[in-house]
Amino acid sequence: MSAPRPDLRQRIAEARAGREARHAVRVRRTVERRQGVRAQVDGRWVVAFNGNDYLGLAQHPLTLHSAQEAMDRYGIGGTASHLVSGHTLVHEHLERELAQWLGYERGLAFGCGYMANLAAVQALLGDGDVCVQDRLNHASLIDAARLAGCRLARYPHGDAEGALRQLRANPDGAAMLVTDGVFSMDGDIAPLKQLALAARIQRAILYVDDAHGVGVIGPDGRGSVAHAGWTSEQVPLLLVTLGKALGGFGAVLLGEEALIQHFQETARPYVYTTALPPALAAASLGAVRAVQRQPALRKRLHEATARFRARAQRHGLPLMDSPTPIQPLLFGDNARTLAVARAVFDAGYWVSAIRPPTVPEGQARIRVTLSAAHSDAQIDGLVDALARAVEAVGAAPATP
């Protein structure tokens, strides 16, 4: 006689109790109103340092005007998939201009970066193939490999030699080497020069998810590929998300014509879903143009990042080594990290307490993200609030 089936409700209750014991429960706050980097939350105004709107384009006049024009012309929704009737002229312009700016033959718009990552891996790999990934890659890339049915091999974070070893250890079938360009929780940059060489040696296609790189780093803000001095020749497949530095929502896969055509015809997350709303595509197109025409935004972002780091170092805060607007403060302990975040919120600043499984066990942290829209006074106020909170909580810095 077989054992009785597990009770799913009991399993859920036990999992919740476990998260409570580990101080790992995630709480959703409701934003009632937003004005630039200020947000009204729970009836009070705070300065937000936990979003990814690095250039302040989410409420930029050019992006708002572009979205309004497209809404007047196309309405709210995409109405159908791109392959049925949802592909509009504004989608076409977005794909074309983004590809031209970043030096790729063609682009393909998706509803979000998660879907685009699923599409890129599943449409290229299957049983008998291998996907080699950085251990700290975004969850969507890990899920993409698992759903593709290929072998998933992971290498130590930022270790190009480790990537090469994994490729050599899996010689059969087609291979992809996949990495974030800028890592969302650590803020560091992937060693693309070395990874591209490893991919070339092993005849693997290199795929870079540059969600947090495009618009932020590299010459003219062209992202981590340009930052490494590479082009589409060394990195033949690139993901650009539209919801970070570009301030909107969605994603675009960039690559050579044959690759993108293959995704358009076969990638399930593209074929079987409604098109990105035209107004959001138009807003992102406006943002792409703003990044190119207004380099002062990026300059201000770099100044804000440098100011935060210098002031945090003077206070002895536990900064991790990040050259990007993602500035983690590593505490290690979940409870202390939460206590610091609560104290800072009470002081009028909103930061995120990042805990496992988003980061490895013992590496809980406050994740601060800077924006070109933050003023010097707001940055100074945040650092002072963090220093007071750390002193009050006794959150001793953890060792990275």
2 is in an annotated binding site: no
Query: Over pLDDT 90: what percentage of the chain?
Result: 93
Domain residue ranges in the chain: 23-52+295-393, 59-293
Q: List, for residues 63-78, the tens digit of each pLDDT value.
A: 999 999 999 999 999 9
Tokens of 280: 């959001």
Catalytic position from the list 140, 244, 284, 322: 244
Q: List, for residues 201-255, the tens digit of each pLDDT value.
A: 999 999 999 999 999 999 999 999 999 999 999 999 999 999 999 999 999 999 9
**What's the full length of the chain, in residues?**
400
Q: How many other β-carbons are positioned within 10 Å of the β-carbon of residue 313?
A: 11
Tokens of 381: 């106020």
Instruction: Give how far the C-alpha of residue 226 lies from the chain's centroid of Cα atoms, to the nearest Å.
Output: 18
> What pLDDT shows up at residue 27?
87
Instruction: Give how far the C-alpha of residue 2 lies from the chain's centroid of Cα atoms, to the nearest Å.
Output: 45
Q: How far apart are CA 254 and CA 203, in angstroms?
A: 20
Whether the CB-CB separation of 55 and 215 falls below 8 Å is answered with yes
> Hey, which residues does 252 pair with through a beta bridge?
109, 240
**Is 193 an annotated catalytic residue?**
no
> What pLDDT shows up at residue 194?
98
Mean predicted lDDT score pLDDT of the chain: 95
In whole angstroms, how far apart are CA 116 and each of 141, 241, 260, 320, 379?
Answer: 10, 9, 12, 30, 34
> What pLDDT shows up at residue 1?
67
Tokens of 93: 């312009």
Tell whether domain 59-293 is in CATH 1.10.600.10.
Answer: no
**Is 299 an annotated catalytic residue?**
no
pTM: 0.94
> What pLDDT shows up at residue 400?
52
Closest of 343, 355, 338, 330 to residue 391, by C-alpha: 343
Side-chain-facing half-sphere of 13: CA atoms under 13 Å: 5
Contacts of 123 (CB under 8 A, 6+ apart): 262, 263, 266, 267, 268
Whether the pLDDT of residue 395 is over 60: the answer is: no
Closest of 125, 95, 322 to residue 205, by C-alpha: 125
Catalytic position from the list 87, 212, 227, 374: 212
Whether the pLDDT of residue 272 is over 70: the answer is: yes
Catalytic position from the list 66, 140, 184, 352: 184
374 is in an annotated binding site: no
157 is in an annotated binding site: no
Whether the pLDDT of residue 185 is over 80: the answer is: yes
82 is in an annotated binding site: no
Q: With cut-offs at 50, 70 and 90, classify the pLDDT of residue 24.
A: confident
Q: With cut-offs at 50, 70 and 90, classify the pLDDT of residue 4.
A: confident
**Which residue has better confidence, 7 or 368?**
368
Q: List, for residues 323-353, the tens digit of each pLDDT value.
A: 999 999 999 999 999 999 999 999 999 999 9
Tell whether domain 23-52+295-393 is in CATH 3.20.10.10.
Answer: no
Q: With cut-offs at 50, 70 and 90, classify the pLDDT of residue 398.
A: low
Tokens of 46: 């705070």
Q: How far apart are CA 305 and CA 379, in angstroms?
A: 9
Give me the DSSP letters along 339-385.
HHHHHHHHTTEE-EEE-TTSS-TT-EEEEEE--TT--HHHHHHHHHH
Give me the DSSP letters along 59-71.
G-HHHHHHHHHHH
241 is in an annotated binding site: yes
